[in-house]
Structure 1
């Protein structure tokens, strides 16, 4: 066989083997890349689940930042949100040690993050020294050396509410895959942030409405501060009886509103017993339709039932009476007995406790009385 043909055959075999090696390496690389992506997608799923379960905004924002950096292997990052005044403010900063950045307001046109919120477009810049949008003042202020940046907007209901900015991938450069993952995380984060803010506003409204109604009761004769004091006494009793947090919450609001039915009785008739007897039912009717407090309504309805069945409005007795109502009855009575602004001459604490103890088993539940005495003395 001529030498040139042998050389050609050898070269052909060599190229075939080389191609096989390169193909195998490419295939292995693809498999490795797919495995990495799958792991990160699973992580993203778990992360978004955690977002939904986080109730406090500060905790949520830290989780978002930590998760974004973990998914993309970034060295540092910041999460900025618009506040109620329309200022874009640094809320969370991770991987940098500079307290001056916290809560700092980012001015319009200042840096890459500002460009992203203005355009609504995510961006990867793997060499910030070549990009005029990069603001060197950040590095000067923090002492951090930024090489690369990946930034995505936080968008909810077609409105930009903030931005996530990550800096310096630990190995290699930020990729399109990194950007896609961060964008998906940002979508879920935006929903959770908006929901969390809505919950905080509702909670704030709830507190204000509660204060308004409690304040309205304070204007009734002999009732100033009564609901709050009763709630404090009842809470002590409830804890002594080892009630759950949910049960204590129901009891607390029942105590605050136990006399709210009096507001529906004409002011000129509040001293008439036949009218006063209706206030538990009137209070129940007011509170029951309100989802914020409807689980406290039954406690209000029965807070004047006696343990021996001689109370009102339903003449229930013993365990037929909700435990919360039995606790409220003792706490209410104790405050009336000791309040200097009450309609009767106040007793000192010892005399009031003795009065309640004397009516244990008839007017009051003995178990509740014992818990009351243990808690108050």
Structure 2
């Protein structure tokens, strides 16, 4: 009976464990149990039956009790061995399934971590994401990323410790765990700390109980070092080393790609700035490129141009006048914008470069007109939409910018010109967007002027009301002031200035007599001479 109890206990434990497994694991475990039952338990039952029916009974009848006990002992030992083997095999099977499941989970986490690192564009962000994901992947308490700078390693990112302290304390290549990982180009798993490591930890106020240091190799170069310390639930294992190494191999490629993109973007920005300076200072007039780009972006947003076409438009606006390098500009002879061939010459230059060949058709058509009067004779929708936007934007700045050799028009003159329904040089949809914006700006300016005028009138009324209130308060507090105001107007205070009302007051009787006498003297010069001859009495 005890053999059956052992078997039932093992089956119940297996059922309990199976409830904790996934469906796929549960099916694998059920198949294993069925196979063990077929291979082990069924033959054991057959052996017991044959022994009891054909061996034990004849021996008992012959009185060979010792032989019967011996056979019972052998059968019992066989049963225990078979059941124990079943239990052990099943345990190992469960462990194998658990290991497979754990490995799949770790690989899934590795895949997710790799995706997070790959999604970053900036090299610094790639490094920070790598350290964070690596710490979560292997369960490290802290981590850092080191880059080689001449003969030293400098920490650029730190997690779980002070980044500033880590950055300020360099480690020479070849010294310490991190330095040895670079020098020997191998993974350092739970290595013993050297004196360099201990000194570094004293300066950064950290401690190390277990370590996993992985160099990031790209070809023959080491582009960085992933430094992981202090596993949360013990020491780092070889499985942790494999996961960190796999992540580091992928991260080395991502770092190289991010560095390339960053360098490419900075190089492109430098070229664009050089082109802008060249056009503004040598080919065109100051501010032309920026004005055209700004106008193009505004018109593109107005008509809802897709983002990819908008980017091409802004790039074409930057390079649209590069063909002037191959032309002699004479404002007196050339049409507005320069010689008509500069658009095609600029497009030829751009087509020769893989970096700008996509915008070459836009530059080639940026002087075309909807009515077919452009240099190439393109008409209507044969002109690309982005080229139509660029054509209008450049024309606006060319004829209205005071720095332009052709800048002879005001913005109002331009609006009157473009509002002519018979003028069909430009796309009506794009032109309506420009005119609509102009009218909106005019309305906003008018509203602002009205608000300023209203505010000024309100301030005047408030000042008058305040003055009247002050006079009322003065008269109420000092009734004699009213009597003084009604006194002799000839009496004035030498310390005060006459008021504006006094200046506008009617002249006195004495004042009128003096004025009449003066006018009489001016009209009768003979009498004046006689008076002067008579002299004073």
> Please, what TM-score do these two structures have when normalized by structure 1?
0.86
State yes or no: 1:283 paired with 2:346: yes
State yes or no: 1:166 paired with 2:228: yes
Aligned-residue offset at 1:304? 1.0
* Selected match of 2:100 from 34, 41, 44: 34
Q: In structure 2, do the counterparts of structure 1 residues 373 and 147 end up closer, same or farther at CA, with 3 Å as the change threshold?
A: farther
Query: Bigger shift: 148-157 or 350-359?
Result: 350-359
Q: What residue in structure 2 maps to residue 100 of structure 1?
A: 164
Query: Bigger shift: 193-202 or 74-83?
Result: 74-83
Distance, in Å, in 2 between the alignment partners of 1:157 and 1:9 is 66
Conserved 8 A contact 2:169-2:203:
no
Conserved 8 A contact 1:303-1:329:
yes
Q: In structure 2, do the counterparts of structure 1 residues 357 and 258 end up closer, same or farther at CA, with 3 Å as the change threshold?
A: farther
* Selected match of 1:90 from 133, 136, 155: 155
Q: In structure 2, do the counterparts of structure 1 residues 286 and 30 end up closer, same or farther at CA, with 3 Å as the change threshold?
A: same
Distance, in Å, in 2 between the alignment partners of 1:146 and 1:328 is 63
Query: Bigger shift: 34-43 or 224-233?
Result: 34-43
**Which segments of structure 1 move beyond 6 Å, counting only runs of 4 or more?**
4-13
1:1-377 residue pairs with structure 2 within 5 A?
Answer: 20-82=86-148, 88-96=153-161, 98-101=162-165, 103-104=167-168, 106-108=170-172, 111-125=176-190, 131-132=193-194, 135-137=197-199, 139-140=201-202, 143-220=205-282, 222-266=284-328, 272-273=333-334, 276-313=339-376, 315-358=377-420, 362-375=424-437, 377=441
Q: In structure 2, do the counterparts of structure 1 residues 189 and 345 end up closer, same or farther at CA, with 3 Å as the change threshold?
A: closer
Distance, in Å, in 1 between the alignment partners of 2:176 and 2:188 is 12
Q: In structure 2, do the counterparts of structure 1 residues 58 and 258 end up closer, same or farther at CA, with 3 Å as the change threshold?
A: same
Distance, in Å, in 2 between the alignment partners of 1:190 and 1:25 is 41
Query: Bigger shift: 299-308 or 258-267?
Result: 258-267
Query: Bigger shift: 31-40 or 347-356?
Result: 347-356
Conserved 8 A contact 1:80-1:90:
yes
Q: Which has the higher contact order (CA 8 A, sep 6+)?
A: 1
Distance, in Å, in 2 between the alignment partners of 1:187 and 1:161 is 11
Conserved 8 A contact 1:236-1:375:
no
Q: Secondary structure at the match of 1:367?
A: helix
Q: Deviations over 1:41-80 (max 9, x none)?
A: 2333444345444322233223322321232122221112
Aligned-residue offset at 1:360? 7.8
Aligned-residue offset at 1:165? 0.8
Q: Secondary structure at the match of 1:121?
A: coil
Q: Deviations over 1:255-304 (max 9, x none)?
A: 1111111111146x676439811111101101123222222111111111
Distance, in Å, in 2 between the alignment partners of 1:356 and 1:116 is 71
**RMSD of aligned Cα (Å):** 3.0
Conserved 8 A contact 1:66-1:94:
yes
Conserved 8 A contact 2:218-2:252:
yes
Q: Deviations over 1:199-223 (max 9, x none)?
A: 2112222122222233222233652
